[in-house]
Amino acid sequence: MDMMTAAMFRARAQHFIKVPENNSVENRISQLEYKYVNQIRALEATVQAQSLEIKRLMHKLNAKILEENQELRKPTIPEIKRLISRHFRISQTDICSERRDPRLVHARFVGFYLSKAVTLRSLPYIAINFGKRHHTTVLAGIRKIEAKILVDEHLRNELDELKSQLYKIVTEERERAIMALRVTTLALDAPAAAAPCTTIAAAGDPVAAQ
């Protein structure tokens, strides 16, 4: 407390507190200050411990939800573009460009097809994310791939493999999230396990000693 507040406290204490003959007002006030400071510290420690326990339980709950929820999220268009870029060894910039090299156009159409097949996004949304194209361009590309896979087994197998890689990306991300939650939970558990139950010793309390 600041000096003015302390002075007011002591002035009121001298007026109201009945002090034994063998004790002084100053000593009694010091005893009361010691007692209530200790009580406040104990309360703060309790609140901190409860906050830590809430965090620990929330991480455990989130990990459990992830483990039990078998439904995976859908792959995203950025993930599809990165996969197409690696698979065909073409930059994402070229995939979204206006260039029309046959190899580049084929990779772009595969990207259209996978985006529609695994993300369930609308054609306009896919078109915007592949270089701000018109949705009819995306539709034409998807139809060309669909026509090819009816007669081209190699392309059909290639698309199945790309889909598998996309779902592997999503699955591994989910497993990493679960592992991160487990590690965080263990880190939160460690202080709780290491810290013994403590109480404020009454022996050091001048008030309790009376």
User: Mind listing the pLDDT tens digit of every residue in the chain (210 residues)?
Assistant: 445 555 555 555 555 555 455 556 567 667 666 777 777 777 887 877 777 777 777 766 776 666 666 567 889 999 999 999 999 999 999 999 999 999 999 999 999 999 999 998 999 999 999 999 999 999 999 999 999 999 999 999 999 999 999 999 988 887 887 777 777 767 766 655 555 444 444 334 444 444
Distance CA 176, CA 28 (A): 59
CATH number belonging to domain 77-186: 1.10.1750.10
Residue 135 CB partners (closer than 8 Å, separation 6+): 122, 123, 124, 126, 127
Residue 16 CB coordination number (10 Å): 7
Residue 129 CB coordination number (10 Å): 20
| Whether this model's pTM surpasses 0.95 | no
Distance CA 163, CA 118 (A): 8
Query: Domain boundaries in the chain?
Result: 14-70+198-209, 77-186
* C-alpha closest to that of 92 among 128, 59, 129: 129
pLDDT for 200 equals 41
